[in-house]
Amino acid sequence: MDCDILVKNGRVVTAKGVDTADVAVKDGRVIALLAPSAQGSVRADQVLDAKGKFVLPGAIDVHAHLNDPGFTWREDFAHGTTAAAAGGVTTVVDMPLQNEPALTDADIFARKHEAVREKALVDYAFWGGLTGDNLDKMRELHDAGVTAFKVFLGPVSPDYRTLNLGVVREGLEIAASFGGLVGFHAEDYAIIHHEEERAARAGRTERIDFLRSRPVVAEKIATADVIELSRATGARVHICHVSHPEVAELIRQARNEGLSVSGETCTHYLVFDEDDVLERGMIFKCAPPLRDAVAREALWDYVVDGTLVCVASDHSPCAPREKDESEGALKAWGGISGIQSLMAVFFDQAVHRRGLCPSLVAARLSEGPARIFGLRGRKGSIRVGADADLVILDPDREWRITEDSLRYLNKISAFVGLEGRGMPETTLVRGRVVWSDGEAQAPLGYGELVKRHSPEEKIEH
């Protein structure tokens, strides 16, 4: 057998388990998984020795804000996708907001593609926007290849719009007509707005006031509303960045009833808690906010059982001045940068600190995201015929996240200072090494747009 690259002697990780195998790659795809004894019969142009290491499917980060085009003082595609490659993320699914303009029709889809295509190091897909005034554009966005539509139920930045349930219901009816997926920032606007006003009237602007303005009940109510509207319309819905086990429990019950509801959480909810906000400040501010340590631990149960089938970064960068607390904790920017640390942190926390199988990493970072977001077949798993999006990870290599190690435009993150073990070292996208030895190995522009397919696929239980 002839191939372009042979990744040999590694422990190949899939959602089903871990097996020692050699991965043969040709023309960007996996062409064979071979028992190590078959080596002699393979001729490869390039051999990567993964002895003692794991070979994982590249992560698909289904929740990232690269801010390009539009808000490129916060992040841009060049920095964001380079950080992705450094961290073992081979496909970034970019959000439609924090873009100028927000991605709300097929024409803007095409323009965004043009604006970023020369800047991407890894592959990428787009979320579409659902802003209330583009209901008649949903079908064309779907046909253009968006993976899902993003809805905000809670307060949002001025470039986007919060929807009421009437508009959401109509949007879900439209999405259901073509099998589209609608993803939600699920926090109840009225509760949060009221609490923010109450705090402002009383002149309360402390960190604790921010946390109190976004109670768990606001997240639960919004999630329950989405679930009921999914039941009523038959639409597939996805709850983004679940922060609390009581929210995850609602999703679990809905799934047990057979509804097409999926859930996602983010590494910061699995590692940090509200004490970090209270003690260390605005760098830990995000929405929904970090919850208490008991909730953080209980959230893991739902990651393990698959209720939360995707673990994403919600990479949400900003300029350092936007984290300034001088006007109070309610005014500072909410968002945590985490695309580069997604795999390393999740691997360390799951495998080393909780003794879970590395297959959970493949399941929640790659296979689950590919399945829910219509990328399966091409992306998200190591199998014959799929894109050779691979990560060689040294499970014993220790790391400490520093500002200098970050490839973001703005080198700030809640994860700075965190230590762990298990480091993505080499990243391949479609059979080409894009990152190794701490440096990019392919030119910007190598990354390609990936479009959703298999829209008819139902969420599996």
Token representation of residue 406? 């970050």
Q: Binding to Zn ion by residue 219, rule CB under 5 A?
A: no
Q: Give the residue with the Cβ less far from Zn ion, 15 or 93.
A: 93
Q: What is the distance between the alpha carbons of residues 80 and 317, in angstroms, rounded to a whole number? A: 9
Residue with tokens 């009225």: 190
Q: Provide, rounded to whole angstroms, the least separation between the CB of residue 174 and Zn ion.
A: 23
Query: What is the number of other CB atoms lying within 10 angstroms of the CB of residue 278?
Result: 16
Q: Binding to Zn ion by residue 61, rule CB under 5 A?
A: no
Token representation of residue 422? 């298990």
| Backbone torsions φ then ψ of 108, nearest 5 degrees | -65, -35
Cβ-contact 80, 339 below 8 angstroms: yes
Segment lying near Zn ion (by CB under 5 A), choices 102-110, 175-183, 312-320, 381-389: 312-320
Token representation of residue 41? 């019969």
Task: Say which DSSP state 394 is in.
Answer: E
Q: What is the distance between the alpha carbons of residues 32 and 358, in angstroms, rounded to a whole number? A: 22
Q: In what order do the strands lie in the sheet with 59-64?
A: 59-64, 89-94, 123-126
Q: What is the distance between the alpha carbons of residues 391 and 12, in angstroms, rounded to a whole number? A: 10
Q: Give the residue with the Cβ less far from Zn ion, 245 or 335.
A: 335
Q: What is the distance between the alpha carbons of residues 42 and 34, in angstroms, rounded to a whole number? A: 9
Cβ-contact 92, 427 below 8 angstroms: no
- For Zn ion, how many residues bind (rule: CB under 5 A)? 1
Q: What is the distance between the alpha carbons of residues 349 and 421, in angstroms, rounded to a whole number? A: 9
Q: Provide, rounded to whole angstroms, the least separation between the CB of residue 113 and Zn ion.
A: 21
Q: Binding to Zn ion by residue 314, rule CB under 5 A?
A: yes
Say if residue 256 is exposed, middle or buried (CB neighbours under 10 Å; 0-12, 13-18, 19+): exposed
Q: What is the distance between the alpha carbons of residues 95 and 97, in angstroms, rounded to a whole number? A: 6
Q: Provide, rounded to whole angstroms, the least separation between the CB of residue 270 and Zn ion.
A: 16
Segment lying near Zn ion (by CB under 5 A), choices 66-74, 131-139, 287-295, 314-322: 314-322
Q: Provide, rounded to whole angstroms, the least separation between the CB of residue 240 and Zn ion.
A: 6
One DSSP character per residue, 396-446 reads: EEEEE--TTT--SSS---TTTT-EEEEEEEEEEETTEEEEETTEE-S-TT-
Segment lying near Zn ion (by CB under 5 A), choices 271-279, 313-321, 428-436, 441-449: 313-321
Nearest residue to the partner Zn ion, using Cβ: 314
Q: Give the residue with the Cβ less far from Zn ion, 13 or 222.
A: 222
Q: Provide, rounded to whole angstroms, the least separation between the CB of residue 182 and Zn ion.
A: 15
Q: Provide, rounded to whole angstroms, the least separation between the CB of residue 90 and Zn ion.
A: 20
Contact set for Zn ion, span 170-189 (CB under 5 A): none
Closest CA relative to residue 182, chosen from 262, 118, 83: 262
The separation between CA 102 and the C-alpha centre of its own chain, rounded to angstroms, equals 19
Q: Where are the alpha helices (DSSP H) in 179-266?
A: 189-201, 207-213, 216-233, 245-256
Chain residues binding Zn ion by CB under 5 A are 314
